[in-house]
Structure 1
Amino acid sequence: MDCFYEPDFLEAGSGHRVILIHSSVAGARQWRALMDNLSGGFHLVAINLFGYGNTKPWPEGATQSLEDQARLVEALVPADGSQVSIVGHSFGGSVAMKAAALLKGRIHRLVLIEPNPFYLLQLHGRDEAYQEAVTLRDLIKAGTDATTWSRAAEYFANYWTGAGSWEAMPEDRKAKFIQALRPNFHEWDSVMNEQLTLSEWARELPKETTVISAADTVRSIDEIVALMRKQIPDWTFEQTDHGGHMAALTHPELMNPIIANSLNPN
């Protein structure tokens, strides 16, 4: 295995392997509650993507693709040919899509929680929703010093977790958040430059795909999920009535039972 694609990860439990892919800023530890809940029936492997945990950071000046992140996931798939399931949240959902496409035939179930392949909005003429993503990307990409990174972090936090979230954050937490945001600089290349259309995703990904969203999520994600629902009706779509984009972290009591049922439906 190429040493560049050697991910850091957490694991728990035994049984069918489920690879968990975190959202931007969060890291593998976002899945602690889910791992506690499901370790009795699954072998859970929570990956740290580039720049998180002890996974090496993405090289400065290089353009990152979803395939680059997906190769990290591929490194955690057993060599014996057995199937795995994948769960991904937000950016992790986009990486999960690409990983499942690369591992076609090896995927048992795919669970996408509020996935963020923003380029699909542009492909389908959802211009206002796409502009929300562009505004956020441009602020992150402008991060060159403490002032611009702080401004980007404020906008990022308030966009994804609600107005006033940044202001309510303790100062020490703000400093940690800004540092954790740094890998997102490269992640935008991945979710803006992908080329697969929804019809191509439908062919590449398993029918046993579940998309989970919150009714009160941000517009850009809501419209991505709406496009998926319209273009790929064979998938299963689940929705919570509240919780927002970060419900996988902030409302595990809502999300975790849906994830569990998606992995092991009755």
Structure 2
Amino acid sequence: MSQSLHLVSAGSGEPVLLLHSGGMSSRQWRRTIDALSPSFRVIAPDFLGCGENPLWPEDEPFHFKYDIQAVERLIADLAGPVHLVGHSYGGFIALHVARRTPARIRSIAVYDPVAFGVLYEPEDAEALEGFRRIEENPALSDPAKGGGPEWMQAFIEFWNGPGSWKTLPAATQNAFLRVGKKVYGEVFTQMRDRTPAASYSTVTAPALLLHGEISPLASRRVVERIGAAMPKATVRTVAGAGHMGPITHSGVVNDWVFRHIQASAQS
């Protein structure tokens, strides 16, 4: 899959790449673009099958490696090293890109990256308990339902709590369902990733790892383990925030990310 990605770009200076969460698009970064573009060239791609890109074919299985490869092609076309910022699935992709091409990364900042493979070696049974419930939930484990209304409701409510799907406006629900099959492919393959925390020790650039105070336990443990593995990592907790902290607590998150990138650019 060699499709190029639709991009939103603003500002000038060192490039900052913003990678969105699963089921969303570059639009989630509007406030972040406003915060960073006066000082940096900010580039926010839509992942394959998302946003302004063509939908992923219904009959073609998706693997997260395709998004990794698309981001790496984008970075290869940019001059000099880049600052990577990612949320959730975007944080997962950012981490893999950084460990695969560390020389191209000036800094990295991620919020609740879904790099759950780090919880298996050694096994964190307490954090993994939530995934065992997912595996036992027919709405999430049945491929025939993957990406459909029942699956998407279970997916959204895993991250945001019971009833959160029904509180979303109909237009937002339809936007998620429009890319449902692709999101299912992201989740299905990402849940089978077993990359250990030690693999991220190759990322020697300054790293900022954020998690919400009330994010799921697994997300908090992922940040702790990867933070301990990276040689130049800072781990921070966003008070009162859950998994959608980059949106619900954008002021705090954007300020920390800006300060991190600015310090890395000046070092």
**Superposition TM-score tier, normalisation by shorter sequence:** 0.7 to 0.9
Structure 2 spans left out of the alignment, 5+ residues: none
Q: Residues 49 and 182 of structure 2 are in contact (CA less than 8 Å); yes or no, is this contact kept in structure 1? A: yes
8 Å CA contact retained: 1:19, 1:45: yes
* Aligned counterparts, 1:164-203, within 5 A: 164-203=163-202
- 1:11 deviates by 0.8
Structure 1: distance between partners of 2:154 and 2:167: 13
Taking the TM superposition and a 5 Å limit, the aligned residue runs for 1:28-39 are: 28-39=26-37
Q: Does 1:144 align with 2:144?
A: yes
- Give 1:76 shift: 1.9
Give the aligned residue type for 1:194. Answer: D
* Residue 14 (structure 2) aligns with: 16
Structure 2 residue 168 is the aligned partner of structure 1 residue 163:
no
> Please, which runs of 5 or more residues in structure 1 have no aligned partner?
none
3-state SS of 2:237 partner: strand
Q: Per the alignment, in what secondary structure is the counterpart of residue 54 of structure 1?
A: coil
1-structure distance, mates of 2:144, 2:95? 31
**Paired residue total:** 261
The list of structure 1 runs, each at least 4 consecutive aligned residues, that deviate by more than 6 angstroms after superposition, is: none
Q: What is the CA-CA distance between 1:227 and the residue it aligns to?
A: 1.9
Cα displacement (A) at 1:249: 1.6
Inter-partner Cα distance in structure 1 for 2:220 and 2:242: 10
- Summarize the Cα distance change of 1:219–1:181 in structure 2 as closer, same or farther, 3 Å threshold: farther
CA offset at residue 212 of structure 1? 1.0
- Any idea what SS the aligned residue of 2:200 has? helix
TM-superposition CA deviations, 1:88-116 (whole Å, max 9, x none): 10010010011112322111001111111
RMSD: 2.4
Give the equivalent residue in structure 1 for 2:255. Answer: 257
Counterparts of residues 24-63 of structure 1 (less than 5 Å): 24-59=22-57, 60-62=59-61
8 Å CA contact 1:12–1:45 kept in 2: the answer is: yes
Aligned equivalent of 2:98: 100
Deviation at 1:62, TM superposition (A): 3.1
Secondary structure of the equivalent of 1:115? coil
**How far apart are the structure 1 equivalents of 2:21 and 2:108?**
16
2:234 maps to which residue? 236
How big is each residue's C-alpha offset from its partner over 1:227-248, in whole Å with a ceiling of 9 and x where there is no partner?
2244446411122111111011
Offset at 1:124? 2.5
Superposed CA deviations along residues 99-144 of structure 1, whole A, max 9, x for unmatched, are: 1123221110011111111122223211342242354466445253
1:210-229, Cα deviation, whole Å (9 max, x unpaired): 10111111111012122224
Provide the C-alpha distance between the structure 2 equivalents of 1:200 and 1:222, rounded to a whole number of angstroms: 18
1:85 Cα offset (Å): 0.8
Give identity over the alignment, percent.
23
TM-score (norm 1): 0.87
